[in-house]
Amino acid sequence: AAAAEAEVRLLLQEAQESIEAARSYRRELQQRLRGLHQAREQIKDSATSTRDVLEQHFSDLKGTLKKLLDERLTSLLQEVDVIEQESIKPLDECQKLIEHGVSTADDLLREGESAVDGDVGQQNEKLCNFTKKALHIQLDSLPEVPSLVDVPCLSAQLDDCLLTILKNQIFRHGTVASRPPVQLEEFVEKPGGILVRWCKVDEDFSAQDYRLQFRKSPGSPFEDVYVGSEPEFLVLHMDPHVDYQFRVCARGDGRQEWSPWSVAQTGRTTLVPHEWTTGLEGYSLSSRRNIALRNDSQSCGVLYSKAPTYFCGQTLTFRQTVGQPDRRDSLGVCAEQRSGDESLQRDQAVCVSTNGAVFVNGKEMTNQLPAVTSGSTVTFDMEVVQFGPCSNEGGNFKLRVTISSNNREVVFDWVLDQCCGSLYFGCSFSYPGWKVLVF
């Protein structure tokens, strides 16, 4: 009986496992069905959108082409009118002169015939007057009439090659692509931002520039956020836990028009933005509190972050505008905030001075970085390399730190007395004019 009961329990267990496997299998199949449905909808929606774009574009082309042809026809007809009027005007003047001569000749003929046929007593006087009048009129002077070869003969020259050119251009105008040449590839969360990466999916496409757009809600229009040659861009000033839609397109080498847009994808960041803490007299902050300016105040000290928002595995970047340097200046990270310090060149902190010196727990390293210059960036990258019992160096938490500046970097291990899941960042400058952006 015990063996039978055990066998039943085993069968029940196997049945439960089979049921759970069937449920999991069904969920996977349903998920794939949803994927197929989304793919089908994407094809249909994009096909409908493409038809609308093509119909609208060619409708606009036809309207524009008709308008241009009408304007050209009007211009040519006006040119015909001008030539016709300018050419006929001298002929009209000549015609008036000839008609006046004909009228004068008719009057002279009547007067001459009357003188010849008149009474003998008055004939002598009439003939004398007629002869004088005939001499005065100059009957041998005739106006010149131009020959047909000397007057304009209007015609229209219409080259049929225009139709051939238009035909060839129209047949090559426009293309339909089944896939955009570039697609979004990766979204990397950053504090208050997202690093967006994209890649080419058409190897035959030679990209000259990329254009990245995003929008906060599906109903709002897309906005340009980046145009350039790099295949990635860090989008800052983004609200945490909010979905943003991104899309990217490219411009071929030597071309003006942009390619079709990639499939829009959603990205979000769960990391709060880096912010400097407010209230320190020696520093003025931007509205987003990610830029700190060392002002003219005589007060000095370390400006810390509002919270320990730097985590291992991330990259912390400082970009600065330079002022007068001092050996006590510092940019770096620390395990805790401490009031009263003038610099991060102290215990439980790593930092870089503006002259390029690197300090670890207050001690200057042999290796140095280039001096900080205006517009340059200083980056900190950290990863945990030891977490456990105390080491020979006295600590039980070790971080591998990489600091980079002006294409140079130093790598070292930073030993802390306690585990730090997150770190503060800070800066200190002795003289005004320094401005630091953190991201």
Q: pLDDT tens, 308-328?
A: 999 988 899 999 999 999 999
280-293: pLDDT as tens digits:
999 999 999 999 99
On the question of pLDDT at 415 being above 70, the answer is: yes
pLDDT of residue 395: 54
At the fourth CATH level, the homologous superfamily of domain 283-438 is: SPRY domain (2.60.120.920)
On the question of pLDDT at 394 being above 70, the answer is: no
Confidence of residue 159 (pLDDT cuts 50, 70, 90): confident
pLDDT of residue 177: 79
Q: What letter represents residue 388's amino acid?
A: G
On the question of pLDDT at 215 being above 70, the answer is: yes
Average pLDDT over residues 108-131: 74
On the question of pLDDT at 393 being above 60, the answer is: no
110-119: pLDDT as tens digits:
878 777 776 6
Average pLDDT over residues 401-429: 92
pLDDT of residue 120: 60
Residues 6 or more apart whose Cβ sits within 8 Å of residue 101: 142, 143
pLDDT of residue 349: 95
Contact (Cβ atoms closer than 8 angstroms) between residue 412 and residue 386: no
Percent of residues, the chain, with pLDDT higher than 70? 95
Determine whether 378 is exposed, middle or buried from the number of CB atoms within 10 Å of its CB (0-12, 13-18, 19+).
buried
Confidence of residue 388 (pLDDT cuts 50, 70, 90): low
Average pLDDT over residues 271-283: 92
222-268: pLDDT as tens digits:
999 999 999 999 998 888 999 999 999 999 888 888 998 999 999 99
On the question of pLDDT at 379 being above 70, the answer is: yes
Regarding pTM above 0.85, the answer is no
On the question of pLDDT at 376 being above 70, the answer is: yes
How crowded is residue 272: how many other Cβ atoms within 10 Å of its Cβ?
Answer: 14
Cross-strand partners of 387 = 397
On the question of pLDDT at 390 being above 70, the answer is: no
Q: Where are the domains of the chain?
A: 1-172, 182-269, 283-438
Rounded Cα distance between 52 and 117, Å, is 94
Average pLDDT over residues 88-94: 89
Of residues 376 and 136, more confidently modeled: 376
Q: Tokens 């042809």 identify what position? A: 69
178-201: pLDDT as tens digits:
889 999 999 999 888 999 999 999
Rounded Cα distance between 261 and 248, Å, is 6
Computed over every residue of the chain, the mean pLDDT equals 89
pLDDT of residue 114: 78
Among the residue ranges 26-30, 148-152, 381-385, the one predicted with the least confidence is 148-152
At the fourth CATH level, the homologous superfamily of domain 182-269 is: Immunoglobulins (2.60.40.10)
On the question of pLDDT at 391 being above 50, the answer is: no
On the question of pLDDT at 61 being above 70, the answer is: yes
Contact (Cβ atoms closer than 8 angstroms) between residue 425 and residue 304: yes
pLDDT of residue 392: 45
How crowded is residue 109: how many other Cβ atoms within 10 Å of its Cβ?
Answer: 10
Rounded Cα distance between 172 and 285, Å, is 56
